Amino acid sequence: MKTLYQSKNRKIELKIIGYDEPNNGRELHIAELYINGKNLSDNYFENKWNRLNFNLDEFQFESPNSKYIFIPAEGYSFLININTLLMIKLPYKALSTLHFKKNEFLENKIKIYYNNETIELNLPINE
């Protein structure tokens, strides 16, 4: 299993540092988010809950145009604009770790696939 995800410019890193099972069968990765070598996990993860969906087999970290990073956090996944470092919260998905399958970046969109629905969101294009 992959434990380090890096942006092409190596400015942003997502490190898988452990495993958590807060209740029976809900498996999560514990992660840290580094920007320019500094651990900024507490600044980005909601309520300092730095847990990720467990299924990262088809997880796409960086958009092909290198403008966005996707973080598959449990509950509230989010995007980071690589240029501004601003966070874009995605719609809340309760217990997303049980449903998350994969994500993909399209031209100006992100698609997130869950076993019970697919979410497609437009990305800001004027940044």
Classify the C-alpha dihedral 99-16-57-26 as positive or negative: negative
pLDDT at position 24, please? Answer: 79
Burial bucket for residue 113 (CB in 10 Å: 0-12, 13-18, 19+): middle
Q: What is the dihedral of CA 95, 46, 76, 54, to 10 degrees?
A: -50
Burial bucket for residue 29 (CB in 10 Å: 0-12, 13-18, 19+): buried
Nearest-angstrom CA–CA distance, 71 and 77:
6
Nearest-angstrom CA–CA distance, 69 and 3:
16
pLDDT at position 126, please? Answer: 63
- Beta-bridge partners for 16: 31
pLDDT at position 127, please? Answer: 55
Residue stretches of the chain with pLDDT short of 50: none
Regarding pTM above 0.75, the answer is: yes
pLDDT at position 1, please? Answer: 76
